[in-house]
Structure formats: structure tokens, C-alpha cells
């Protein structure tokens, strides 16, 4: 069977676009235009634009949709966004995959931005969502504008900003598993038209989903406090200054609720047996200072940001996930260790948003500096030798790794209107990064009073450079129908391996950046007088020198090597419809076929051929249907709503050999509520039919289940 040429695909796309346009034009005269979908403004390309006019696959959820879906954490956009999967092993560090490009190390494949600040890595980002205005998800490599670690895409989160209007909100949620969620928000002008204040705080707590048989107690009980604080100063009509501080202080009494054997985990769910119990303390601070200038000739933005994360276990945490005193992990060595600091700076200049000239442009530079001193001890307890045959017991191996990174990038992108209907977009970016790493190994045996050095300070450094081009054409068949074709390139940064207890895995071994080439075709339609939005995209992505991770136990150290070639291809569809005055329908569908063209791994002195194996954390299908019926009461002063959601996720693999997998499953959510003026009462239930499924698993066999059935009630007040 001969492959279809690019010319034939583009021709077919044009015919489909024109057909949609003809159908829409034929029906507009008979459509009641009193209820429509709202126009969506996004900042995906670092400038305000209509989503319908951007030539790339991008999804947007507004504040109402976020509230309707009850999205409280970033990972909960799974399947709402086509071909997106996100989960964590119980520690709040999400592994996110888009289109088969999966996060497999602390350098993510999907970059998260919150209010313009790059959440630099898995350590420093804040997963909790509250008081959010909009979530934008860009699918496919976004290297030109976003650079490093955006090879799968970008999640762009924008929180609600203070204005001249006094607004506020208070909400309280109570549910099973002793869930309590309280959110307070206030935004007010301090000096009208000049100085504004915004503050939002969140308290979230629940009992654990898991029970620990070792002490017959709830294992993963947790609570946390988060805040988001804004100060906005309008110097004059052109200059403005924004100061933002975000913080998260989380306590988890049982991170990593993992059990071995996937089948037994499903048969006897949410039960584990671990002897080492502890509390994970997770403190994160994100702050930024932004200066904006809006002029007749150009717009300018400077953003300086600082991020800090201090994460430790108050006592040793179980490393063998069993009731035996075999292995535990220690990282509580004081604030000088496991305290990650990141500084970032961006300067951006762009053509004015209101400019009507045929040429629109954006250019800028990014700088960053990271300091990551990590110290971790692997404790071999009284049962270590009998269980693991390590030759001894009651000793610790203490590994110290000091990592520093600095980087600079320059980028530019232009869009030129070749005609009233045809636009050309071109962009280019160059990233340069310097990495230095020092490791030291120590050994301590009971009853020694202090450790002895077994590996003295050893250092290495690497430099990386990457070019990220982009080229796109978009054609507007009508004001409501647009088609595009795009090529883009993304990359994930390289690095050096950390020090572990396994002597067969030497430290400071370098691995190269991972590069992806993406080809994409798409159509975007706003039909039936803007009552129906339909977006379709097809993609093909090829990755050479794929970074393939392997987890080294018992330290839980990830060793990464460039040993694979990965191909991913698929299809996406998004539909939003205001079917009637009372009924809103939203549907998304994604298909991904991501497999390794070649993959050779070494194991115990021999080579393992994994050619053709599927990518991990990448369901072959994602599907989501949401329907909400809203009935206005008492002349619009109150309303009643009923909502149902159906999610389907296809086969998902969690190890490169494809031995650990989750078969396809369905999730059903439902909610109903009453709005009376400024007060809202809502009852909700998630996972109605108590579906048991694996959401995360390690390649050594430990699995973490998705959330059980949860239900509750939310009371909200707005002014």
C-alpha cells in the first residue's frame, strides 16, 4: 500500500474545510442566534489572540468549565484534553504525556506555565488549582516560543487577576474520606485606576484512600495550605507592574502508596502493608515581578521569577513497600539539602496586539539558573540481608549530588499575511545550557558515630545547544473555517546520571538532549452562527536519540540513556456545542499510536530487544463526553443544572517491556446544583461505578491505583 503524499493530504483537508463552510453557510439563516459559544482569547503564542485563528492544536478551558469539571489538580485534565494523560505515584509529582511524548525524568516532556512563569521541573511546580481564569493546553512541540522540555506541549494556566471592581468568593466542599476544601478569594482596587490587590487562599484535606495493614491506619492522609497573592500597579497608560507570590505547604502522611502485583492490587484495592511510616513535608514558593509596556510601535514584557522547593520525609520512608525492615530512604538532612532553587528571567518584545499591519512579530530572550543540592541515604535494616541477600544489615549508603545549571535562549517568531486568507508563520529559537554536577558517596554502619567516604568528591560538566524551528501555513476559507499545516521541533534537555548504591551504574554518565520533529494538519470551524465549534488535527512525530529511563533500586535513582527511536502518530477531535438554550455538549477524542522503532536495553550483561514496544504512560485512546442541562428559574434570578461526564481511556503501558498495563476502562462523573443569585449549592460524585484501575506504575512492578469513588457537596458564594 503506497503512502499518501503530503500534497494529497493538504488537498483533502482543503476539500473538508470547504465542505464544512458550505454546510454552515447553508444553515445560518435558519439558526436562532440568541445563544452562542463565547469567543475564546488565549495567550498561547505569548500574545492575545482568538483561539480560532491560531494554527496549532490548542485546547482552552474557561473558569466556568474548570468549575463544572471540578478540576482541582493539573492531572485532572486527563482525557478532557485529547491525547493527554497525567498521573502521579502518590507524591503529587505528575508524569504527563501528550501524543506519546511522556515525562520520564525530573526534566518533563510537558512544560507547565502559571501566570507566565515556567514551573521549571517536577520539584518546583504547584499542582493544586484554585481561582483559575483559564487553562490552555498546546499539543505538540512548542520549542520556538517555550524552549526546553516543551517537546510534548505546554500547559498554560492563568489565574484570576485584580481589577477596578471589588470581587470575592468563598467556597466550602465536604465529602467522603473526610474531605474538606475551603477557598477564599478577594480582589479589590486599593487606589482606583492605579493600585490593585488580589489574594486567594486554599485549604485542602482528606483522609487516606489506602489502609496500612501494618498499623491498621489510614496511610495517605494529607492536608495542605496554598496561596496566590497579587499586587498590580498602573504607572500610566503605557507602563504597569505586577508582583505575584504563590506558595504551597503540603503534608502527606504516606506518600507513595504502592503495592506489588497489579492483579492483587485490583482484587484487594487500597490496601498496603508497610512498616516504615512517615510524613512528607513539601514546601514550595513561586514569586515573580513583571513589568509591562504597551506602546504604539511595540509591546515589552520583563518577568523575573524565583522558585524554591524544600521537600523531605520527617522519618525514613519505606523503600521496599513491605512490612519488613529491609530498605528505607532518608533525606531529612536539614535545609541545606533537598532545597531546590531556580531563578528565571524573560525579556519579550512584540508588535502591538491592536496592530492591523500584515506583519506580526514576537522576539525575546530567556535566562535561568538552577541550584539543586540533593542528599539521600539508603538504609539497609535488620531484615535486609535475609530479604535481599546484600551480605550485611544495619548500614546506610549516603549519596550526595550537587547540581547547577545555567542557560540562555534567544527566540523570534513572525506571522505575515500573504493575502486576506493566507498567513505564513515562521520562528526560530536557540537554547544553550551548561550543567555541572558533583557527587560523593559515604558508608555508615551501626554503631558508627559518623560515615566514612567511599567515593570522594567527583565532578563533571556538560554543555548543550539546540535549535527549535517552526513553519506553518494557515488558510481562512471563511471567517468561521480555517485550515493549517505545520512543522515544529522540540527538545528535552540532556543531563548527567546521579550517584546510586548500585556499583554497576556509575555516576556522572552523560546523556544527550532528546529532539522531536512534528508534522501536523488541522482544521478549525465555528459553525451554525458560533453555536458549534469543531477542531480536527492529525499529527506525526519522530524522536531520535530518545531518552529512555530505568529506575535503579533501592535508591529510586533514575538512570537515563539515549538508546531509542520513537514514532508517534494520531488523530484528535474537539467539539463544543450549545445545542439549545439549556443544553451544552463538550466532546474530545484522541488516538495515539506511539511505539519504538528501535529500542535496545542492556540487562544483566545481555541486550534486550524491545523494538515495536509501545510508549509508557500513553493510552492509545482518550475520549470524554460532558453534557450539562441548565434551566433558568424565576426570570433568570436562579437556575438549576444537571451534568454528566463519561471518560474512556484505552490500553496504557507502564514499563518499556509492556508487561505492566492497564486495560481500557470507563469513568462516570455526575453533579447537580442550584444557583440562587450569588449562592451556589452543588452535589457531585466521581467514579460513580467504583472503577478500579492502575493510574501509575513503576517498571519494577509497584503500582498505584486511581482514586476510588468520591462524593460530596460544595457551597459557594460570590460577590
- Please state which of the ranges 131-145, 354-368, 539-553 shows the lowest mean pLDDT: 539-553
Give the distance between the most distant pair of CA atoms in the chain.
87
Q: Which pLDDT score is estimated for 530? A: 80
Q: Which pLDDT score is estimated for 23? A: 47
Phi and psi (nearest 5°) for 271?
-130, 130
What band does 278 get if pLDDT is binned at 50, 70 and 90? very high
First-to-final CA distance of the chain = 63
Asked if 660 and 701 count as a contact pair (C-beta separation under 8 A), the reply is: yes
pLDDT above 90 coverage of the chain, percent: 70
Asked if 79 and 647 count as a contact pair (C-beta separation under 8 A), the reply is: yes
Over the stretch 33-87, which tens digit does the pLDDT of each residue have? 456 677 777 777 777 778 888 889 999 999 999 999 999 999 999 999 999 999 9
Domains of the chain: 6-718 (2.40.170.20)
Q: Which pLDDT score is estimated for 503? A: 63
**pLDDT at 368 exceeding the cut of 90:** yes
Of the candidates 236, 224, 268, the one whose C-alpha atom is nearest the C-alpha of residue 128 is: 224
What band does 310 get if pLDDT is binned at 50, 70 and 90? very high
Q: Which pLDDT score is estimated for 35? A: 64
What band does 277 get if pLDDT is binned at 50, 70 and 90? very high
E-strand stretches of 610-693: 621-633, 638-649, 652-653, 661-662, 665-676, 679-686
Strands 652-653 and 606-609: what pairing? unpaired
What band does 595 get if pLDDT is binned at 50, 70 and 90? very high
Phi and psi (nearest 5°) for 465?
-145, 140
Asked if 265 and 703 count as a contact pair (C-beta separation under 8 A), the reply is: yes
Asked if 618 and 637 count as a contact pair (C-beta separation under 8 A), the reply is: no
Q: Which residue has the higher pLDDT, 94 or 345?
A: 345
- Please state which of the ranges 4-18, 132-146, 560-574 shows the lowest mean pLDDT: 4-18
User: Taking the CB of residue 288, how many other CB atoms lie within 10 A of it?
Assistant: 20
Phi and psi (nearest 5°) for 709?
-65, 130
Q: Which pLDDT score is estimated for 36? A: 66
pLDDT above 70 coverage of the chain, percent: 92
**pLDDT at 302 exceeding the cut of 70:** yes
Q: pTM for the full model? A: 0.91
Chain-wide mean pLDDT for the chain? 89
Stated as kind and residue range, the H or E segment containing 470 is strand 470-478
C-alpha atoms less than 13 angstroms from C-alpha of 239 in its C-beta half-sphere: 4
Q: Which pLDDT score is estimated for 695? A: 96
Question: Where do we find the cell 490548542?
Answer: 58
CA-to-CA separations, 7 to 12, 470, 522, 668, 673, in angstroms, rounded: 9, 19, 14, 42, 51
Strands 694-697 and 702-705: what pairing? antiparallel
Over the stretch 185-218, which tens digit does the pLDDT of each residue have? 999 999 999 999 999 999 999 999 999 999 999 9
d(CA 409, CA 387): 50
d(CA 695, CA 86): 9
Question: What cell was used for 171?
Answer: 467556597
Amino acid at each position: 500500500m503506497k503512502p499518501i503524499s503530503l500534497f494529497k493530504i493538504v488537498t483533502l483537508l482543503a476539500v473538508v474545510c470547504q465542505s464544512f463552510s458550505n454546510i454552515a453557510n447553508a444553515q445560518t439563516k435558519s439558526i436562532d442566534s440568541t445563544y452562542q459559544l463565547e469567543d475564546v482569547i488565549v495567550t498561547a503564542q505569548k500574545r492575545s489572540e482568538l483561539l480560532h485563528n491560531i494554527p496549532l492544536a490548542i485546547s482552552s478551558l474557561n473558569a466556568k468549565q474548570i468549575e463544572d469539571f471540578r478540576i482541582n489538580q493539573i492531572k485532572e485534565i486527563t482525557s478532557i484534553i485529547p491525547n493527554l494523560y497525567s498521573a502521579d505515584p502518590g507524591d503529587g509529582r505528575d508524569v504527563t504525556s501528550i501524543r506519546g511524548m511522556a515525562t520520564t525524568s525530573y526534566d518533563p516532556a510537558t512544560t507547565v506555565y502559571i501566570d507566565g512563569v515556567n514551573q521549571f521541573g517536577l520539584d518546583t511546580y504547584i499542582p493544586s488549582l484554585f481561582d483559575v481564569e483559564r487553562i490552555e493546553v498546546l499539543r505538540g512541540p512548542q520549542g520556538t516560543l517555550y524552549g526546553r522540555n516543551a517537546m510534548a506541549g505546554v500547559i498554560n494556566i492563568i489565574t484570576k487577576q485584580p481589577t477596578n471592581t471589588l470581587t470575592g468568593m468563598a467556597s466550602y466542599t465536604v465529602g467522603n474520606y473526610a474531605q474538606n476544601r475551603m477557598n477564599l478569594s478577594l480582589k479589590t482596587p486599593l487606589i482606583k485606576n492605579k493600585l490593585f490587590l488580589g489574594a486567594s487562599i486554599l485549604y485542602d484535606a482528606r483522609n487516606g484512600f489506602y489502609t496500612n495493614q501494618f498499623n491498621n491506619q489510614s496511610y495517605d492522609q494529607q492536608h495542605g495550605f496554598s496561596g496566590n497573592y497579587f499586587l498590580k500597579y498602573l504607572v500610566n497608560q503605557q507602563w504597569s507592574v505586577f508582583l505575584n507570590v504563590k506558595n504551597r505547604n503540603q503534608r502527606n502522611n504516606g506518600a507513595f502508596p504502592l503495592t506489588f502485583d497489579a492483579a492483587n492490587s485490583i482484587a484487594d484495592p487500597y490496601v498496603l502493608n508497610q512498616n516504615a511510616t512517615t510524613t512528607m513535608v513539601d514546601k514550595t514558593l513561586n514569586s515573580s515581578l513583571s513589568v509591562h509596556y504597551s506602546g504604539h510601535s511595540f509591546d515589552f514584557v520583563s518577568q523575573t521569577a524565583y522558585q524554591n522547593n524544600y521537600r523531605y520525609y520527617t522519618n525514613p520512608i519505606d523503600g521496599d513497600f513491605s512490612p519488613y525492615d529491609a530498605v528505607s530512604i532518608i533525606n531529612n538532612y536539614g535545609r541545606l539539602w533537598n532545597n531546590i532553587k531556580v531563578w528565571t528571567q524573560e525579556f519579550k518584545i512584540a508588535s502591538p496586539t491592536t496592530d492591523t499591519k500584515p506583519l506580526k512579530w514576537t522576539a525575546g530572550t530567556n535566562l535561568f539558573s538552577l541550584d539543586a543540592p540533593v542528599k539521600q541515604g539508603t538504609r539497609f535494616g535488620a531484615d535486609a540481608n535475609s530479604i535481599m541477600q546484600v551480605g550485611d544489615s544495619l548500614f546506610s549508603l549516603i549519596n550526595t549530588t550537587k547540581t547547577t545549571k545555567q542557560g540562555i535562549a534567544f527566540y523570534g517568531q513572525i506571522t505575515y499575511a500573504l493575502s486576506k486568507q493566507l498567513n505564513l508563520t515562521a520562528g526560530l529559537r536557540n537554547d544553550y545550557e551548561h550543567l555541572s554536577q558533583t557527587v560523593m558517596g559515604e558508608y555508615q554502619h551501626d554503631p558508627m558515630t559518623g560515615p566514612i567516604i567511599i567515593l570522594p568528591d567527583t565532578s563533571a560538566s556538560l554543555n548543550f545547544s539546540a535549535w527549535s524551528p517552526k513553519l506553518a501555513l494557515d488558510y481562512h476559507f471563511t471567517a468561521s473555517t480555517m485550515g493549517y499545516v505545520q512543522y515544529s521541533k522540540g527538545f528535552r534537555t540532556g543531563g548527567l546520571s546521579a550517584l546510586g548504591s548500585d556499583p554497576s551504574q556509575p555516576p556522572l554518565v552523560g546523556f544527550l538532549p532528546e529532539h522531536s520533529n512534528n508534522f501536523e494538519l488541522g482544521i478549525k470551524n465555528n459553525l451554525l452562527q458560533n453555536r458549534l465549534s469543531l477542531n480536527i488535527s492529525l499529527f506525526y512525530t519522530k524522536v531520535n536519540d530518545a531518552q529512555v529511563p530505568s529506575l535503579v533500586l533501592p535508591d529510586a535513582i533514575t538512570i537515563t540513556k539515549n538508546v531509542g527511536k520513537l514514532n508517534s502518530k494520531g488523530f484528535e477531535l474537539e467539539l463544543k456545542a450549545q445545542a439549545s438554550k439549556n443544553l451544552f455538549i463538550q466532546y474530545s477524542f484522541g488516538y495515539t499510536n506511539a511505539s519504538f522503532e528501535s529500542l535496545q536495553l542492556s540487562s544483566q550483561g545481555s541486550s534486550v530487544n524491545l523494538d515495536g514496544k509501545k510508549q509508557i504512560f500513553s493510552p492509545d485512546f482518550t475520549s470524554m463526553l460532558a453534557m450539562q442541562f441548565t434551566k433558568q428559574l424565576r426570570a433568570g434570578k436562579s437556575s438549576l443544572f444537571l451534568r454528566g461526564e463519561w471518560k474512556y481511556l484505552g490500553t496504557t503501558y507502564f514499563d518499556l517491556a509492556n508487561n505492566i498495563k492497564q486495560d481500557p476502562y470507563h469513568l462516570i462523573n455526575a453533579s447537580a446544583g442550584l444557583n440562587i443569585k450569588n449562592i451556589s449549592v452543588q452535589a457531585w460524585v466521581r467514579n460513580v461505578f467504583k472503577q478500579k484501575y492502575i493510574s501509575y506504575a513503576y517498571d519494577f512492578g509497584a503500582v498505584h491505583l486511581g482514586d476510588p469513588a468520591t462524593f460530596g457537596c460544595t457551597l459557594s458564594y460570590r460577590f
